[in-house]
Amino acid sequence: MKIRLDILRTKRGGGSYLQSVVFEYSDPKTTVAAALTEINSSDQYKDTEGKSVDKIKWECSCLQKKCGACAMVIGGKPCLACDSVLSDFGERVRIEPLRKFPVIEDLIVDRSAIFDRLRDMQIWFEQQAQNDETSTDTAYEASRCLQCGCCLEVCPNFCVDENFVGMSAAVPASRLIAQTDKAQAKQLYELYKKRVYEGCAKSLACRNICPAGIDIDGLLVSSNAAAVWKRKKKRG
């Protein structure tokens, strides 16, 4: 089998161009990550214009859909390179970096905005998490977030320079809301309301894109339910 990879390459410091490489493979389960690794490990590859292919810069760590480092746009859709099978794309596919973040080089982007926002919003436990059957389910679901940024790529409301933090922060926020101490719950909810819930248009464009398969609808519903419950408690 063979596929033409159209790879958007960006030089460090600027300047982009599309480089096409024909990649041959025999295992139908070969992934984009495996193709990039093989191309980088050989000096033999030439592009479709006969030029040599400099090492393609991309990030990976686990190669098992666990770390989120290899998130990129493949065939127009944000996904993980280690979870994207070449044979699903036919004879040609375009590979680009995530577009919502500053590009560092080739397929590597600066996703520090994701982590900065978690820090700014103080999305961490300062005391023992409260556990019951419902909150444990929510916590488990939220803990599967890879912080890959795929959900931000498709979110019409997310921009790296603006206040709305997107689903990559809403997911861990939902865990804290479900499991936090009641005394701190209202304060947390008010903090998250401005940057998470009020900015989300509930379009659910992010719902089916999450490579971890997180139940985003369920987490939004559980966060809303927790907020309503807290308002009722306040009135009562």
Q: Which residues bind ligand SF4 (CB under 6 A)?
A: 68, 145-151, 155, 157-158, 166-168, 171, 200-206, 210, 212, 214
Instruction: Enter the tokens of residue 76.
Output: 């127009």
**Rounded distance between C-alpha atoms, residue 21 and residue 37, angstroms:** 13
79 binds, among ligand FES, ligand SF4, none (CB under 5 to 8 A by kind): none
Q: How far is the CB of 148 from ligand FES (least distance, A)?
A: 7
Q: How far is the CB of 225 from ligand FES (least distance, A)?
A: 31
63 binds, among ligand SF4, ligand FES, none (CB under 5 to 8 A by kind): ligand FES
Rounded to whole angstroms, what are the CA distances from 135 to 78, 129, 139, 144, 217?
30, 9, 6, 14, 15
Q: How far is the CB of 197 from ligand SF4 (least distance, A)?
A: 9
**Rounded distance between C-alpha atoms, residue 171 and residue 26, angstroms:** 39
Contact 215, 166 (CB under 8 A): no
Nearer to ligand FES, 64 or 87 (CB): 64
> According to DSSP H, which parts of the chain are helical?
32-41, 112-120, 133-143, 150-154, 167-179, 182-192, 216-235
Binding site for ligand FES (CB under 6 A): 60-63, 65-70, 80, 82
200 binds, among ligand FES, ligand SF4, none (CB under 5 to 8 A by kind): ligand SF4
Nearer to ligand FES, 65 or 230 (CB): 65
Q: Which residue has the tokens 């933090």?
A: 165
Instruction: Enter the tokens of residue 202.
Output: 């509930």
Nearer to ligand FES, 81 or 113 (CB): 81
Q: How far is the CB of 171 from ligand FES (least distance, A)?
A: 16
